[in-house]
Amino acid sequence: MHHQPAEARVGVDEAWPAWLKAEFAANGRNPQVGSRLLSVSDRVRVWHLSLAPGERLPVHCHVLDYFWTALSPGRARSHYHDGRTQERSYQAGDTAHYRFGPGERMLHDLENIGDQALSFTTVEFLDSANAPLPLAQS
């Protein structure tokens, strides 16, 4: 399954709380698409994402082609830059692929709304149509 995201125009839902609207405004270039960066090569960035029940990954920005694979079953909620709020269930092995054209990006958060830990592996492709967003120096 391939998704072609549109240019990210932040159209937050007016019903969202002020802190979430502010996070979208502040994190338009946040490259932290996982909990921990596991590996970087000249071709890919490999991330691990693990969320305990009730935990969330703040708003972050995707500009690179990528895929994620769920490592555990669970349930999550995401808010998107176009104002959507989506809840979905995951099974271990669920995978989705995303492709971004020049200038396209996607902003969203991810909150574990289930009762067990939720884990993913995300792989970003550095040879995408867009340059990678710079990672914070640790």
Domains of the chain listed by start with CATH number: 2-125 (2.60.120.10)
Q: Read off the pLDDT band of 11 (50, 70, 90).
A: low
- 99: buried, middle or exposed (CB in 10 Å: 19+, 13-18, 0-12)? middle
Averaged pLDDT, 84-90: 96
In this model, does residue 136 exceed pLDDT 60?
yes
Direct distance between the N- and C-terminal alpha carbons of the chain, in angstroms, rounded to an integer: 35
Q: Which two tokens stand for residue 8?
A: 């990210």
Q: Are 10 and 109 in contact (CB under 8 A)?
A: no
The pLDDT tens digits of the residues spanning 35-68 come to: 999 999 999 999 999 999 999 999 999 999 999 9
Of 122, 138, 113, the C-alpha closest to 51 is 113
d(CA 24, CA 8) in angstroms, rounded, equals 11
The pLDDT of residue 119 is: 98
pTM: 0.88
Q: Which two tokens stand for residue 25?
A: 């405004």
